[in-house]
Amino acid sequence: MSRETTASLPTGFGRRDFLAAAGVALSGGLAGCSGVFAAEEDQVNVAGSSTVFPVTEAIASAFSEENPTVNISLSKTGTGGGFGNFFCAGRTDINNASRAIADAEVEQCGNNDITPVEFQVATDALTVVVNPDADWIDCLSVEELREIWRADGAQQWSDINEDWPDEEFELYGAATTSGTFDYFNEAVIGEEENHRSDYHATERDRTIVQGVQGSEYAMGYFGFSYYSENPDSIKAVSIDNGDGCVEPSIDTAMSGEYTPLSRPLYIYVAKESLAKSAVRDFTRFYMKQAATDLVSDVGYVPLTEENRDENLEKLNGAIAEVTE
């Protein structure tokens, strides 16, 4: 008798446990089913440039505090990676871009019935940095920069200027999937020459900072916000585009003096996605915030109010087309 009762005890527990587990599984499944539709409608997916990432992050953070039910996902894939693998394949609603969309990408989007709508959200001063101990260099002309970064160009500092050390460059730059790479390539290297391929290419700006900190003969380039957070550990080089040396800063980028490396930053919104209320609300919120301190806190130049109003008008036009 006593044996039987002890033996049946665990059995009872086993059954109860099984029922509990089944209950959890069932309710989980039900919650899942009802959540499917809600998830699609309340989801905003963003991929693209790591340069624009902090701007979108700041704005998404502010947006989600006001709209906690909307789920915004944000990935760093590089501008080109974002267009090719995510945005034009219909996987994301918005793409961060540190350059304008290319013709091939517009075509790829078109094949998948996606219409990209461009909005400028900020201006960046693409910054060339060197080690703080590199005291021989404060300013570079665009030609010198091209000579350093083009394929088959200079190999040593002394190739640029005889007074500079007989040491080879150690170069850190953006990866080819990056819009920063594309912009630098276009603005500095030009179409006749190619960007050199024997440099450390990365999508992680922190790797560039560490590399440049580590060697006196190193040089790198990235978005201004990354420099403005590390002004003591790396040195920014002024750029001479024929009118004297101009240092990279929010002011010089805003006034247009810092050429040719000040560049517009964009987001591209799929017009079809504007049919979702969450994407609509988020984009509208984004356009309004892009003219505020949220952008300058990150280290970029905010939009003028005029630009902002143009953007809002363009957005309202696109929304009207898809919601009718």
Partner 1 sequence: MAADTRDEPADSGFGQISRTKDVSFRLLALAATLVGIVSLAALLLNVAVDAVGWLDWQFLTNPPHPDPYQAGFLPALVGSVAIMLVIALITFPLGVGAAIYLEEYADDGYLTRFIQLNIANLAGVPSVVYGLLGLGLFVGLFSIGYGTVLAAAFTIALLILPIVIISAQEAIRSVPDSQRQASYGMGATKWQTIRNVVLPRAMPGIMTGTILALGRAIGETAPLIMIAAPTTVFGLPNGPFSKVSAMPLQIYNWASYPQTEFQYGVVAAGVVTLLVVLLTINSIAIVIRNRYQQRT
For partner 1, which residue of 16, 61, 112, 275 counts as binding (CB under 8 A)?
61
The contact pattern for partner 1, residues 210-249, with x = CB under 8 A and - = no contact, is ---------------xx--xx-------------------
The contact pattern for partner 1, residues 268-307, with x = CB under 8 A and - = no contact, is -----------------------------xx---------
**Alpha carbon distance 203, 180 (integer Å):** 9
57 binds partner 1 (CB under 8 A): yes
10 binds partner 1 (CB under 8 A): yes
Amino acid at 203: E
User: What's the first-to-final CA gap in the chain, in angstroms?
Assistant: 77
CA angle (145 as vertex; 143, 150 as ends), nearest 5: 95
**Alpha carbon distance 155, 172 (integer Å):** 14
16 binds partner 1 (CB under 8 A): no
* Nearest distance in Å: CB 248, partner 1: 15
What does each C-alpha distance from 71 to 13, 39, 44, 276 come to in angstroms? Answer: 40, 8, 6, 13
Cβ contact 216:225 at 8 Å: no
* Nearest distance in Å: CB 70, partner 1: 5
The contact pattern for partner 1, residues 87-106, with x = CB under 8 A and - = no contact, is ----x---------------
Stretch that binds partner 1, among 18-26, 107-115, 134-142, 145-153 (CB under 8 A): 18-26
39 binds partner 1 (CB under 8 A): yes
259 binds partner 1 (CB under 8 A): no
**Alpha carbon distance 181, 74 (integer Å):** 21
51 or 185, CB closer to partner 1? 51
Binding site for partner 1 (CB under 8 A): 7, 9-11, 13-14, 17, 21, 24-25, 28, 31-32, 34-36, 38-40, 42-43, 45, 47, 53-54, 57-58, 60-61, 63-65, 67-76, 91, 204-207, 209, 225-226, 229-230, 297-298
